Structure 1
Amino acid sequence: MCRTGQSSEPSGDEGVEATDAAFTALLEDSAEELYEQAPCGYLSTLMDGTIAKINSTLLDWLGLDRAEVVGRMRFTDLLTMGGKLYHETHFAPALQMQGGVSGIALDIRTAAGRMPVLVTSKVKTSTDGEQPVLIRTTVFDARDRRAYERELLRGRKAAEEARRQAEADRERLQEALAVLQQNLLPAVLPAIPGLEAGCYYHTASPDLLGGDFYDLFPLDCGRWAFFLGDVCGKGPQAAAVTSLTRYTLRAAALHDADPVTVLTTLNTVLHERYRSGDTRYCTAVFGTLELDPAGGHVDVHLASGGHPSTLVQRADGSAGYLPTPGGMLIGVLPRVQFSAARTRLLPGDTLLLYTDGLTEARTGPGREIYGEDALHAFTTGQPPAGPQSLITALSGLLASFGDGLDDDTALLALGIPAPAGATTSVRTT
């Protein structure tokens, strides 16, 4: 006999609640298992680097027990010597400034030796978002990435060499500070047989201390080095950076005159010196000249870091820019790329370097920016009469800008004089 109003089956609400509870328990179990057995390593550290939590995957890679690690080791204890160096000089500063870094190549120490990994870290802040409380880090296995492994090795060697070179440059800088003269520009350019050079400098700073600079100096028999650049800012602070920059470029060139290497050394020195506090940076072109008296030409090899393109005026009246795309500002980032270019100067050709005070001058009633196109047109309209003639024409152009020229401007022109009696032509556009 059945009893009405009663049933052995659970009600609809009771069934849903039971299902939800089981699903919640499954989710909690799955989340913990996912953390522990994930295909990548996870760890959380206090702000001083002490490891507070680590998953089983990373412990297996390290060959360590959880009790050996949690509360007893710091994140840097897991790294190789090279990894610690990179962490100290690049990883940790970037994490502090940006609150997170992604895809950083490091090496960790394992029972079998070193293991290449890619590391992503993010700082977690307090609920009010004011105070950093811990760092969450994900570690990806990079052992199977052979191409990346080779790049990692090259990058580490380059970083170690850059650090050693930066230390050597700083030592040479300290020795030179006692005898460093107050002038930031050479009093006169050196005379080079078979080559003509011209320069001009306009300062827009009221205290006559600008941030633009240039130089021309010998390397060895038949080779000369030149550079021109622009330091961020004006006044005494910019002048201090200019002194450091000019000395570093000269010292680096005597060690290894490859233009990209020289600018890389300068970037390392400026970044190390100014990475904390008031950031300072510059743009620059550095190059070498190799004279061939027998062939009657000069081979030019240069590199640019964030600087306006170099212009070449040819003996036939034409002119064109040397393409150096992608060159980055010097001193802002620890690792940068620079663009290199080559050309050959024949008799009557002139190489022109300039700072952006020229191309960013304001002209006309509308105060338009002068620009590289206008500079190209102006240079094409000048007779190819040599570096000093071009500098004279450009200094007159700068004077015509009046108060539209509100930034420091440096000009440096290098070339081979045209043979006596040679006719010159002006190309019209």
Structure 2
Amino acid sequence: MIYKLIRNSVIWRVSLVVLASLAIGFLLGKKMDLWMIATLFIITIWMLIRLVKYIQQPYKKLHYFIESVKNDDTSTLFSTKTGNAFLNALHSSLNNLNRLIQEKSIRVRMAERYFSEILQHIDTAVLVFNEKEFVLNSNKSTLQLLGLNTLTHLRQLDKVNGSLRDLLLNCENQKERTIHIRKEKESMQLIVRSTIIRLRDETVTLVTMQDIKGELERKELDSWLKLIRVLNHEIMNSLTPVTSIAQSLGELWKNNPVNEIKPKIVEQTINGLDAIEERGDALMRFVESYRLFSRMPDLRMSEVSITAFFDRTSILISPMKEEKNVSIQFYKPDIDFNARMDEQLMLQVIINLIKNSIQALNHENNGKIEVSSRLLNGDVIEIIVVDNGSGIPDEIKDEIFVPFFTTREEGSGIGLSYSRQILRAHGGSIGCNSVPGRTEFYVRW
């Protein structure tokens, strides 16, 4: 509609100018009165000026509106009762656009305030700085972590720790690293993640920091308590019978003079000494297990085909498979891929997981174990061992990776914990998901 008004108005005004110009030419050709020609010429010039102003007027309005928006002034309101239908339509459109900009601006400010409040309430320290090292934003957790009242420039970090500023400036984009610093007399272990964000006018760096020292100490204490509990259990299981048997034998010989020793007493003594020897051997085996667990061999890394790795694993576990009469299926990937690993140690991990599954299926009919592998996100290797056993009870799920924890009398309790050490040496992890009828162990690196 607005374009039609412009077109019709311009055509009408241009037509008048053209007609006036033709009239001037006609009068000049007829050598008419000069005053009449001069009057018509002045009228033509006036119409041209009006035409130019008419065309310029909307552009002036648009320029004024754009300048107002550039200066964040959205309070401008144009009149829609100018007596000019075209200007009324233009002003109405500009007012509608201005209203939309106001609504968008309000939404943006609300979102900024919303995210600012979230930023201030999270426990993770968040810091944003530009290429000139000026701090553009930081939250309360940052100030609390660093012990500062305000933070406007990275140079202020020198008061906290002399190396922290350089560490933050040299963090790689999208990389996470752990740094150790001292703040006054306090030691901190920070997980730092840096992200470079390129804006239109500048490049800024977003840094998140979290002190994990307290959490690590808590988990370390929990691990020690679990380990001490298991060690106490194993040692007491060995020493309690030894002490009891020794006391019984001592009383037996004290209450019977040497010249009155009967064959039955000698037999009881020999049986007691055999029991002491047996428990001593068990304690020695336990100590040997501890020595094995505490000494991780050096990794011998190589590129290994997953298909070939599964073939070797299948050969090595075939005697157990036949002895226990358990179905073990290896599902090789459709497209073979290589994994960088210490093959012997990784074989030890997978075979140990399969052994555990076989033992879990010891009293099950139609026991079945499945071993498969896949790539996660294109570069993370995952091997999964699944069995259809009764599952792991909820009360011991958190204990199965604790060194020397076992639910079997003949078990050493180091298989899973040693496997976890091997995976950590590979930069990976091992985990478990278990429900009745399905237990899944997975290794990733």
| Bucket of the pairwise TM-score, normalised by the shorter protein | under 0.3
When you count helix as a share of all residues, which structure comes out higher?
Answer: 2
Larger RCO, structure (CA 8 Å, separation 6 or more)? 1
When you count strand as a share of all residues, which structure comes out higher?
Answer: 1
